[in-house]
Structure 1
Amino acid sequence: MAVTSETPDGSNGGDPNKKPEDVEKEEEEEENQKEKPEDEEEEEIQYRSISFPNLPHDLTELCVALLRRCNYPSLSLISKGFRTLAASPRLYDARSRLGVTECVLYASIGFPTSSSPSWYILRRDEISLRLCRIDKLPIHWGSAVVTIGPTMYVIGGRSDGKPTSDVTLIDCRFHTHKELGDDIILQISFRQQTLFATSIEISSRILFPREGVWARRNDGEELKSLWKASSCVVDDKLYSIDPLCSLGHPVVVYDPTERTWRSVRGVYGFPTNISDYDSKMANLGGKLVVLAGKSPLFRSDHHGEEEIWCLEIHLERRQDGEIWGNVESIKRVLTSIESPYIEHCRTFTL
């Protein structure tokens, strides 16, 4: 008696109607699926959910990268997929490759009734310029702030009236933070050349990298005379506010090679009542930006409100070596019923 086996012999996958070449193709696809790493599968699924219906995720990523960062919060409301993309380092890598990065200003601002200052970001849209508060990013009164790339280290300060040695790393791309150990201070000290290479002032020292010149606050009366807490560096020149206009103009610049202060000419329309104590300067993409508050000029008589204003100054170096400035805009960026105090002002390219 003949016995017919129901076990497939592998030549056609058990299907008498299936061609051998079809069986080989299916087996090859199954092997590829088995060999594919799990993390790649998860990433592919994640970005597939982000893409527009008829666009591959790589093209979607490039489309989103071309948008301004101020639109990312609204974009994140569309779906979980877009929220994931907006919080992805790949998106910022794409922005860098496309050359569409933006210079962004962050400021820490304190109020008399607050236990600690708060971080604000200067946001610009088609019709306004304003400081917007960022919740849950830590800083203490009197903290030192050091920036490296898209991150900043918030070091020490006073918490609840007591000194603290806390060190916090803040990633300004995603507004996340994490506490670091005390040994990070040693790492920062070890990396001073890297830090100062971006012209960051810390411990009363500053490096002008192109000139290779170090400067200290106690390096002669000439430098110390006009170097204020509100000073900043633009193109290897140290800029400061001179409320008394001792050189004839309200903004002055220090040349590290000549070791002398000069006036920045042509800064017409610069408010005369801005003080160096109540303001902070920053280099915003080559422009000089001044955040000013508490000045009588900027006090509002309506309902006891006080204001912080932002001045944007375009700088130009002329053939004779003189530096000229043009006040492009003066805008109110924050209004409060309290007395805001600007502690820090830092800029990042994101």
Structure 2
Amino acid sequence: MASKTMAEKERSSSEPPSLIPSLPEDVIIDILARVSRWEYPTLSLVSKQFRSLVVLPELYARRSLLGCTQHCLYIVLYEGENNLYRWYILCRKANGNRSLVRIPSLPPLTSGESSVAVGSKIYVFGSGIAKTSAYCIDCRSHTVQPLPSMPVPISYTMAGIIKEKIYVMDYVEDCKNVIMLFNTKTHMWEPEILKPDMEVRGERRSFDGFFVDEWMVLADKVYLGLRPVRYCLVYDTAENIWRRDDMNMMRSIKRATACVIDDMLYYYPRFNQDDDDFFVVKYISTYDLKRRCWGVVKGLKKLFSKMRNLWCVHTANYGGKLALFYSKKDKNYRRGRDVESKREIWCVEISVERRHGGEIWGKVEWCGQVLVADRGVMNCLNVMV
């Protein structure tokens, strides 16, 4: 056998050895499916083959069969430049810490758009000049797929998922309150458009003209917080009827600050002091819809004793745990005369459990700074990949 030429020897010595030599692709997929999702960005740098494999649908189908799917938090941060909202993902580092990493391939959100997570996808509604565009983000590959246009133009949307349908509401322009239904299985809009109304003293009463201050989807029901009245409206999707709720759960809850874990609502009360934007509440509230009672998460006094100058507080269901995001603002900040300074964005992961007697107790699993930015967190979405 002829010996290798000098050029061949130099070329062979400069090429790095293959990490998985000559394995069939299905075997490589089976191996990668058992690797943590957080390692995929690094694996995509190994070779073009790996870069193509980590976005294959077959890989994520295998992860699902093996029970290796993971919860990922996608975060929307407001950036003052051009009034845009950018996408970030909460990543775990090798040392156990977390950080928010921007996803440059995803289009930014604009004011008035709403988003909701369903499995491994995020649906976005109300984009485009006409505010009728919608699209879907595949969080496995961070690619975007356009969806059919919304049935009616909107000015500002809110969205929530019940079973296989996303309820999208427009609630600003002329206070003409309508709810559109998008089917996530067929990727089509339902022909029916809901209009909030109910029977009052024997007559059907429309709620056009009332401003929907907040809304939330919980336990297969849609809750609308109305102004100027002091009660909320509840739509039962199973019975297809609207009811009045005099307890008005929505009065104390802001949609963006609340999340649901095991049919229990967790939220950070947005009460502030004087004219400052610093939140001073030192607890996390709960609301049990079945028992129709309020409560607080116990065991977190030590955590809140260290928290100062909170701003832009949000909660999220993070795989059954409670994730709390907040920003620390400069102490010189006051309403009307903001100072140009960076904000520290912090994340707290809390495990929660219901103890005997119905009390909810929390335990801090991790707490730390995840980003330094100009603005704060606007939304949190829990995705399965």
TM-score, normalised with respect to structure 2: 0.65
Structure 2: distance between partners of 1:148 and 1:224:
24
Tell me whether 198-207 or 111-120 shows the greater mean CA deviation. Answer: 198-207
Counterpart selection for 1:196 from 162, 182, 201: 162
Compute the displacement of 1:293 (Å).
Answer: 1.5
Compute the displacement of 1:256 (Å).
Answer: 0.6
1:333 aligns with 2:301: no
How has the CA–CA distance of structure 1 residues 298 and 222 changed in structure 2, closer, same or farther, with 3 Å as cutoff? farther
The residue number in structure 2 matching 1:38 is: none
Cα offsets for 1:63-97 (capped at 9, x unmatched): 11111112112211222211121110000011111
Cα offsets for 1:1-48 (capped at 9, x unmatched): xxxxxxxxxxxxxxxxxxxxxxxxxxxxxxxxxxxxxxxxxxxxxxxx
Compute the displacement of 1:222 (Å).
Answer: 4.6
The residue number in structure 1 matching 2:267 is: 240
The residue number in structure 1 matching 2:15 is: none
Structure 1: distance between partners of 2:316 and 2:332:
19
Secondary structure, counterpart of 1:195 in structure 2: strand
How has the CA–CA distance of structure 1 residues 178 and 214 changed in structure 2, closer, same or farther, with 3 Å as cutoff? closer
The residue identity in structure 2 corresponding to 1:152 is: I
The residue identity in structure 1 corresponding to 2:219 is: F
Contact 1:146 1:153 in 2 (8 A): yes
Secondary structure, counterpart of 2:81 in structure 1: coil
1:346 aligns with 2:346: no
The residue number in structure 2 matching 1:61 is: 29
**Aligned ranges 1:298-309 → 2 under 5 Å:** 304-309=341-346
- Structure 2's unaligned 5+ residue stretches are 1-17, 154-158, 170-214, 226-231, 233-244, 273-280, 334-339
The residue number in structure 2 matching 1:292 is: 326
Cα offsets for 1:118-154 (capped at 9, x unmatched): 1000000222210000013122223111222211111
Secondary structure, counterpart of 2:300 in structure 1: coil
Compute the displacement of 1:109 (Å).
Answer: 0.6
**Aligned ranges 1:312-331 → 2 under 5 Å:** 312-331=349-368
Cα offsets for 1:224-257 (capped at 9, x unmatched): 2321131111111111113659xx9610111011
Contact 2:161 2:217 in 1 (8 A): no
Counterpart selection for 1:145 from 95, 111, 115: 115
How has the CA–CA distance of structure 1 residues 253 and 196 changed in structure 2, closer, same or farther, with 3 Å as cutoff? same
TM-score, normalised with respect to structure 1: 0.71
How has the CA–CA distance of structure 1 residues 198 and 222 changed in structure 2, closer, same or farther, with 3 Å as cutoff? farther
Report the count of equivalent residues. Answer: 281
Secondary structure, counterpart of 1:135 in structure 2: coil
Counterpart selection for 1:170 from 113, 137, 140: 137
Structure 2: distance between partners of 1:146 and 1:184:
18
The residue identity in structure 2 corresponding to 1:147 is: A
Secondary structure, counterpart of 1:74 in structure 2: helix
Structure 1: distance between partners of 2:262 and 2:332:
30
The residue number in structure 2 matching 1:132 is: 101
The percent of aligned pairs where both chains have the same amino acid is: 33
Cα offsets for 1:141-194 (capped at 9, x unmatched): 23111222211111115x7xx7632212111111000232314789xxxxx9x9
Q: CA RMSD in A?
A: 3.1
Secondary structure, counterpart of 1:164 in structure 2: coil
The structure with the greater share of residues assigned to helix is 1
Structure 1: distance between partners of 2:147 and 2:222:
29
Secondary structure, counterpart of 1:62 in structure 2: helix
Tell me whether 117-126 or 55-64 shows the greater mean CA deviation. Answer: 55-64
How has the CA–CA distance of structure 1 residues 298 and 286 changed in structure 2, closer, same or farther, with 3 Å as cutoff? farther
Contact 1:244 1:250 in 2 (8 A): no
Structure 1: distance between partners of 2:40 and 2:252:
40
- Structure 1's unaligned 5+ residue stretches are 1-49, 187-191
Contact 1:223 1:259 in 2 (8 A): no
Contact 2:115 2:122 in 1 (8 A): yes
The structure with the greater share of residues assigned to strand is 2
The residue number in structure 1 matching 2:290 is: 257
The residue identity in structure 1 corresponding to 2:249 is: L
Structure 2: distance between partners of 1:283 and 1:198:
19
The residue number in structure 2 matching 1:179 is: 146
Compute the displacement of 1:309 (Å).
Answer: 0.6
Secondary structure, counterpart of 1:321 in structure 2: coil
